[in-house]
Structure 1
Amino acid sequence: MLKYLIVLLVIFDIYTLIDCAITPQEKVRRFPKWAWLLIILFTRTFGNIAWFIAGRPRKPRQNRGGKGRIIPPDDDPDFLRKI
């Protein structure tokens, strides 16, 4: 059982290192990419979790309305043209 846990942690380490390494520098949050790589390497599981919480770029949220953000009528150029 312990062997499987160790294998899973090693796989998680490798995945996190690769994910950090291929992320563009301008999208990395909090620290520079080189600092995140060192944190992940030297703090192991703590660094992996920290990368996913604080360093990894956020994914854009999906709007449920479909069209994007809601514009009030007095700021909407399409609405004002129709008047």
Structure 2
Amino acid sequence: MVTVRYFGPTRLLSKRSGVRVEAGSIVELLEILAALDQGVTLAALRNSLIFVNGDSIHNLKGFRTKLADGDEVQIFSPMGGG
């Protein structure tokens, strides 16, 4: 199982702070999460900052990053300010 933690607006839209699911890759995980929560779209998840065990998926293999049992995925909504 992979533990997912939501932060920012995604956390509010999903109405939960996190979830545990079975997924073999980031792309599979995002599809599962979008199906679980009506308030969270696949497009919004793809535009989020995503970390696996503290490492950005951009420093790994992007959406093709493989997941293993016990991994923790953090999903941060993009935010702007000024």
Question: What is the TM-score with the length of structure 1 in the denominator?
Answer: 0.25
Question: What is the TM-score with the length of structure 2 in the denominator?
Answer: 0.25
Which gives a bigger RCO, structure 1 or 2 (Cα 8 Å, sep 6+)? 2
Larger radius of gyration: 1
Higher-helix-fraction structure? 1
